[in-house]
Amino acid sequence: MACALADADPLLWGGSVLAARSARRCAEALRRASGRAALSADADALMPVITGTPVRDPFADPEIDGLPTRPVLVVMDDGEAGDAEGRARLEAACRQHDVSARRIGLPLGMEEAGPVDRYVTLLLQGRFSAAYLALGLDRLVLDSRAGAR
């Protein structure tokens, strides 16, 4: 996940109420970790960003042109049916516009967990990804008063 987000602008989406809430909190953590924009929104708000992504130029030279950041859709999947139609539309748009899509889901054994447990699990996995990204970007700041940020 951290490798996919290293040179990208994350777009986070959750289909249920708690998955959407964890997506917002993880977007905050990703903004702090990378110093770049990270957007968490519903499917209708994310769709113009995905469909407006320019086509990748196969002949672009990163030495001359630089590396343009592209969006990456991160689906926060808590196992609830939620907005299955919105997820299908987002993932179809990602395939059509060459936008990468990743998923943060529940580990094995969490299927029977309660909604708050699933929320906390998604939140912790997203924050772990953000911390790992900060470490990879050499932006991990240790503060003796607040611990690792």
Domains, the chain, ranges and CATH? 2-56+66-148 (3.40.50.10490)
Give pLDDT tens digits for 61-112: 777 777 677 899 999 988 887 788 999 999 999 999 999 999 998 888 777 7
User: What's the rounded Cα separation, in Å, for the pair 3 and 13?
Assistant: 19
Alpha carbon 12 to its chain's center: 4
Determine how β-strand 142-143 pairs with β-strand 147-148.
Answer: antiparallel
**How many CB atoms neighbour CB 23 within 10 A?**
28
Q: What is the mean pLDDT of the chain?
A: 86
pTM for the full model?
A: 0.83
Tokens encoding 5: 């987000």
